[in-house]
Amino acid sequence: MNGMLGQSVLVLNRLWQAVNVCTARRALTLVFQGHAQVVLGDEGANAFRTFNFGAWRDFSEQEPHPESVASISFRIRVPRVILLLAYDRLPRKEVKFTRHNIFERDHNTCQYCGHVFERSDLNLDHVIPKNQSGPTTWENIVCSCVPCNTRKGHRTPHGAGMRLVRKPRRPKWRPFVQISFGLKAHDSWKHFIDVAYWNVELGEDSV
């Protein structure tokens, strides 16, 4: 039981942004005190339900699960994600220049043809090519699909007869805090955090 209560739980602020990781014991305490709700995703869909303590206890009894702990009078499932009901802040930090945040800024959209793609089908392109001393910065990196990237080659958009959908800028929003990737992330966290690859600060040799 103590081992189960020591499991890691992802903590979201009330804006559904990942801000911390705590133990299952702490998570259940926050839910019991009314400071948080349990978040449960529907398998195969980006849909989520929230439960207060009473509703989660009832759900745990109706849907028995191996990841449960027992009290004197009932068994309750260990949550994997909780949502804080009042906390809406994020740690103050600079927006990281990462793959994830570039894709977020550009909305997974090729900045040359304007079509939306899966991230696996997008590249990061230097608007002014590196062989023309183009810097690896927010203002010179955009998402590009493979066909557009191939067409542009090592030329400027003007040189390739192409136009940008919008001028790349440093984003003004603040992305979610980077979770410690030393922890083994539970499958249910995948909607809220990305693998470490997307959160590595980009340098000249990374793009």
Name the pTM for this structure.
0.51
pLDDT digits (tens, 9 = 90+) for 147-159: 999 999 999 999 9
Domains of the chain: 2-91+177-197 (no CATH), 94-173 (1.10.30.50)
Cβ contacts of 31 within 8 Å, gap of 6 or more: 37, 38, 51, 52, 53, 56, 79, 82
φ, ψ (nearest 5 deg) of residue 49: -110, 150
Question: Whose CA is closest to 77, among 184, 182, 166, 188?
Answer: 188
* Alpha carbon distance 35, 83 (integer Å): 9
Instruction: For residue 75, give the 3-state DSSP assignment.
Output: strand
| CB count in 10 Å sphere of residue 79 | 25
Query: Is pLDDT of 58 > 60?
Result: yes
pLDDT digits (tens, 9 = 90+) for 102-130: 998 999 999 999 999 999 999 999 999 99
| CB count in 10 Å sphere of residue 62 | 7
pLDDT digits (tens, 9 = 90+) for 175-194: 444 444 445 557 778 777 65
Residue that is written with structure tokens 């027992």 in the block: 70
